Amino acid sequence: MSVKGKNLMSGVVLVGAQWGDEGKGKITDLITPEFDYVVRYQGGNNAGHTVIHGSTQLALHLIPSGIMYPQVTPVIGNGCVIDPAVLLKEMDSLTVAGFSCDRLLISGNAHLIMPWHLALDAASELRLGQNEIGTTKRGIGPAYQDKAARSGIRVQDLDDPHIFRLKVAAALETANALLTRVYDARPFDVDAVSEQYLQYARRITPHIADVSAVLNAGLRTGRRVLFEGAQGTLLDIDHGTYPFVTSSSCTAGGASVGAGVGPTAIDKVLGIAKAYITRVGAGPFPTELSDATGEQLARVGGEVGTTTGRLRRCGWYDAVIIRYAAAVNGLTDLCITKLDVLSAFESIKVCVAYEYLGQQYRSVPSSQTAFHHAMPVYEELEGWGADISGCRCFAELPAAARAYVERLEELAEVPVSVIAVGPDREQTIMRGWRA
Ligand code: GDP
Ligand code: IMO
Ligand code: MG
Ligand nearest the Cα atom of residue 137: 2
Q: Is the pLDDT of residue 6 over 90?
A: no
State phi, psi for 432 to the nearest 5 degrees: 100, 10
The response to whether residue 286 sits with its C-beta less than 6 Å from ligand 1 reads: no
- Give the DSSP letter of residue 142: H
- The closest residue, in CA terms, to atom 15 on ligand 2 is 135
| Surface-to-core class of residue 15, CB atoms within 10 Å of its CB (0-12 exposed, 13-18 middle, 19+ buried) | buried
Concatenating the DSSP letter of every residue in 263-302 gives GGGEEEEEEEEESSEEE-SSS--TTB--SHHHHHHHHHHT
- Residue 54 pLDDT > 90: no
For residue 225, give the 3-state DSSP assignment.
strand
Confirm whether 21 is a catalytic residue: yes
Atom of ligand 1 at shortest range from CA of 305:
8
State yes or no: is 111 an active-site residue: no
- 57-70 per-position pLDDT tens digit: 999 999 999 999 99
Looking at the chain, the whole-number percentage of residues with pLDDT higher than 70 is: 98
pTM passes above 0.85: yes
Q: Write the pLDDT tens digit of every residue in 307-347.
A: 788 899 999 999 999 999 999 999 999 999 999 999 999 99
The reply to whether ligand 1 has any atom less than 6 angstroms from the CB of 389 is: no
Q: Find, among 105, 59, 67, the residue nearest to 86 by Cα.
A: 59
Contact 285, 35 (CB under 8 A): no
The DSSP code for 103 is T
Q: What is the overall mean pLDDT for the chain?
A: 96
Confidence of residue 9 (pLDDT cuts 50, 70, 90): low
Does residue 313's CB lie within 6 angstroms of at least one atom of ligand 2?
A: no
Q: What is the dihedral of CA 184, 185, 190, 194, to 10 degrees?
A: -160
Determine which residue's CA is closest to atom 1 belonging to ligand 1: 21
206-224 average pLDDT score: 97
Provide the sign of the torsion angle of the four alpha carbons 99, 391, 311, 325, taken in this order: positive
- Collapsed DSSP state (helix, strand, coil) of residue 2: coil
Amino acid at 6: K
